[in-house]
Amino acid sequence: MNLLTEAWIPVQHAGLPEKITLQQLLCGEKIGELCLPRDDMEFACLQLLVALTQVLFTPADKKALVQRMQKPLTLEEYVNGCEGKIDWFDLSHSETPFMQFRGVKAKEPTPMDKLMAGVADGTNKAFVNPQGLASGLCSSCVAIALYNTAYNCPSMGGGFKSGMRGSTPITVLIEAEDLRQTLWFNVLTAESLSREMPWYEDTLAQTPGYVSGLVKDSKITASSIGLTSGLFWQPARFELMPAQAASACSCCGQQGDVYTGFNKEKFNYTISGVWPHPLSARTFVIKKGEREEKFPSFTTTQPSWVHLAKLVVEMQQEKEGYHPVPVVGQLKRLGARRLDLMVGGYRNNQATVLERRHEMFSLAKGWDQQPEIIDELVRTAQEYKKSLRKALYIFSEGIKDRFAGSGVNLTESYDVLFYQQTENLIHNALSYINFEQPKNDLDKLYSSLKAVVLRLFNQATEPYQQEPKMLKALASSRRLLHKYLNELEAQGGSHESAKSA
Ligand SMILES: [Zn+2]
């Protein structure tokens, strides 16, 4: 199957599922929304579509991009964009199969479910993934799974490399009116690319990594990796076994030939530095005068909003900072509009996927003028959680020589409750906040957060209210909580200073 010429994009239009071609989508001949039984596969499919559009049809500048957003490609433009590149995107090409290498040696083939993140992991996954989900995949699902494995998943374990953004990075995509427009909102212009990667023009002639091949144990610098190579980087050596005779795809259900296994082999190389992926933010610390960058990922159970400022705000302090997702930075330069974001990624423990995340965020109009408000909101909301945590800690531990605590540490479970009970408040505040004059909206949010904190504190300490032995601990921790909350309220004017800075 060839991704540039054949119908592989799983969409649904007016309730009917079908597979359409990239040409039909980009030339506006067919419409529909992506439709797969797993949110992570849908998200990976969108990433793959964006990467194809980016590499084949990079708009020169802002004007060209705006035109693309408004008007579908002509057939001639589509054909010109694909010229010379069709062989790169053929799943069963005899020499350079899509996201694979030929001649991969393995003792025995790996079953297909290893290519579907989460399915092969032992614990609890039966709830999330119906059994047999990846026993055979159609060529469309297998192309998406290969791309997902290369960019979003933990490595296959010992000796296998993880993707070029490291294990399980957070990916951010902008959502627009429909699928075709969404692709263009996530494509960088040549102008933006030169800004993100100054070596962009010089590396235009590069082909995908799996086409040009990689030398074993080679040492590569991120600044030598061009756009095409970076967006189609296969970190592992995989080769699909030939497809088997007709049966139903265990992911999308389509009847046809299915892939049931692949060969994989260990292959080592190193990349120094960080490649500026268009759909990823980067955080950095400055150590001994050197800037060390990395991609944020979901490392804890904290909700996604905790990471939001890193994803959309440019921040540089003396020793640390963050650089927003390049496509979000580009939209900021294009001019104000409401921003709808899709944020996705896995949380892992080494090769095991613990959790899938796929969330939507809306940022009200004006976010691009005052992005530091987002930073302040996220920080302050976390301070409210910390004040609850600190008060509950004192309540459970007591203070030496003054009073004994309950001995029951509730901080972790109440962190979880705080996040559960404030998630909607935060999402709502972000989507309606008046970024030009945020004070009222922020005050409203903070007083709601304060009410949640007080309610949770009462809930946690309620069973001890009648115990004479606990009266001191109760009074002291409550006094501390009020002190923390008052301090936070006193800082409430900080958005004024943020604004003028
Ligand atoms: Zn399928």
Q: Can you give the residue ranges of every domain in the chain?
A: 9-272, 372-500
Give me ligand 1 centre to Cα 254, in Å: 6
Q: Which residues contact 19 (CB under 8 A, 6 or more apart)?
A: 7, 8, 9, 10, 11, 140, 254
Percent of the chain with pLDDT over 70: 95
Q: Of the ranges 122-126, 261-265, 371-375, which one carries the lowest mean pLDDT score?
A: 122-126
Give me ligand 1 centre to Cα 8, in Å: 9
Taking a C-beta distance cutoff of 8 angstroms, is the pair 293, 283 a contact?
yes
Q: For residue 126, what pLDDT is reported?
A: 42
Q: Of the ranges 60-74, 223-237, 343-357, 412-426, which one carries the lowest mean pLDDT score?
A: 343-357
- What's the rounded Cα separation, in Å, for the pair 375 and 320? 14
Give me ligand 1 centre to Cα 183, in Å: 22
Give me ligand 1 centre to Cα 240, in Å: 15
Q: For residue 496, what pLDDT is reported?
A: 47
- What's the rounded Cα separation, in Å, for the pair 309 and 340? 14
Give me ligand 1 centre to Cα 301, in Å: 31
Give me ligand 1 centre to Cα 251, in Å: 5
Give me ligand 1 centre to Cα 51, in Å: 20
Give me ligand 1 centre to Cα 24, in Å: 19
Give me ligand 1 centre to Cα 207, in Å: 27
pLDDT tens, position by position, 283-333: 999 998 888 999 999 988 899 999 999 999 999 988 999 999 999 999 999
Query: Average pLDDT in the 428-455 region?
Result: 96
- What's the rounded Cα separation, in Å, for the pair 136 and 491? 57
Give me ligand 1 centre to Cα 138, in Å: 4
Give me ligand 1 centre to Cα 1, in Å: 13
Phi, psi torsion values for 340, nearest 5 degrees: -105, 125
Q: For residue 336, what pLDDT is reported?
A: 63
Q: If we measure between CA atoms, which residue out of 206, 257, 260 comes closest to residue 6? A: 257
Give me ligand 1 centre to Cα 253, in Å: 6
Give me ligand 1 centre to Cα 40, in Å: 14
Give me ligand 1 centre to Cα 263, in Å: 20
Give me ligand 1 centre to Cα 114, in Å: 15
Q: Which residues contact 237 (CB under 8 A, 6 or more apart)?
A: 101, 104, 264, 265, 266, 267
Give me ligand 1 centre to Cα 249, in Å: 5
Give me ligand 1 centre to Cα 41, in Å: 10
